[in-house]
Amino acid sequence: MLPTEFTERLRRILPPESCERVLETFHHPKGTTFRVNPLKCDAERLQKELEASGLHPEPVAWLPGAFRLPAEERRPLTEHEAFYDGRLYIQNLSSMLAPLMLNPRPGERVLDLAAAPGGKTLMMAGMMEDRGWLSAVEPVRERFHKLRRNIETAGARNIHTYMKDGRSVGRAVPESFDRVLLDAPCSSEAKFSTLRPQSFAFWSLRKIKESQKLQKRLILSAWNALRPGGRLLYSTCSFAPEENEAVVDFLLHKKEDARLLPLTLPIDNALPGLNSWEGKDFRDEVSQSRRILPDHEMDGFFLALLEKSSR
């Protein structure tokens, strides 16, 4: 059973017509989705190879190179040669939306400020056609080495890895990047599952507050590392407004050169950001952020795209 306090909060965050459907998703396994690594292979060719192996990949209409599989085919996919040699990467569709909305281009300087295990980093490397400079920062040693292994397996050459606390990056390299992705460490509420009680065993309001404190310092660091005219994509896998809208609102109040951009998502299971929470009002433009509602294959997620004004 999910923590009662969590479900009560969720009922205040989400409209009634959505909340019960969302709560139901915590009791069922998610479908499997993956994307093809364009640095190593062609999507159509890999699809045919997987089909020849008895798998049934179905293209995701709104994201070229992404596929879904029947749940029972996840294990055979993880045992396929294409998985081991880095020609595909298993990743939830919600996570793929973050690089998609940031839209890094070949030749740009890009920063991933909380990069491990590297799924979003590698997706951006593919979008950049392995050109330009992509800095991937991760402070935790074990996670850093997993990031390095995934990058090596994928064959990306434009990624430069740093085992460093992201909170110090903005001071070290101010105004150095065209785009910054901050998929911030969070309470991971969207990963909860009653099939895995350990996924929410350590959840608490205290953890949310601790996460918010870190997120505020990280988003300031990310902003300082961004050049004028550049864009920052902030995301979490939490439902908590303290970790989402409140952090974006914090940045808007701290930085006069920050403006929130409207997000046009290629999906319909998303809601505008909240304009208030627990008696605190946020700036009107915070509603331009998006909270993705989980379904049978997508995790819950939060996305906000900000632009730094040019001088």
- Residues 100, 141, single domain; the answer is yes
**Gap between the Cα atoms of 226 and 120, Å rounded:** 18
Q: Which pLDDT score is estimated for 157?
A: 97
Does 48 have pLDDT greater than 90?
A: yes
- Residues 132, 217, single domain; the answer is yes
- Residues 109, 144, single domain; the answer is yes
Which pair of tokens denotes residue 246? Answer: 């409140």
Nearest to 216 by CA among 178, 194, 244, 187: 244
CATH of the domain at 144: 3.40.50.150
- Residues 157, 282, single domain; the answer is yes
Model confidence at 71, pLDDT cuts 50, 70, 90, reads confident
- Residues 236, 182, single domain; the answer is yes
- Residues 101, 248, single domain; the answer is yes
Model confidence at 4, pLDDT cuts 50, 70, 90, reads very high
Which residue do the tokens 């809208």 mark? 245
Number of domains in the chain: 2
Residue 19 designated active-site: no
Model confidence at 310, pLDDT cuts 50, 70, 90, reads confident
- Residues 197, 251, single domain; the answer is yes
Q: Which pLDDT score is estimated for 147?
A: 98
- Residues 52, 139, single domain; the answer is no
DSSP state of 193: B
Domain that holds residue 52: 31-91
> Region 294-311: what's the mean pLDDT?
95
- What share of the chain has pLDDT > 70, as a percent? 100
Q: Coil, strand or helix: which one is 38?
A: coil
pTM (2 decimals)?
0.97
The per-residue pLDDT for range 114-136, each reduced to its tens digit, is 999 999 999 999 999 999 999 99
- Residues 12, 71, single domain; the answer is no
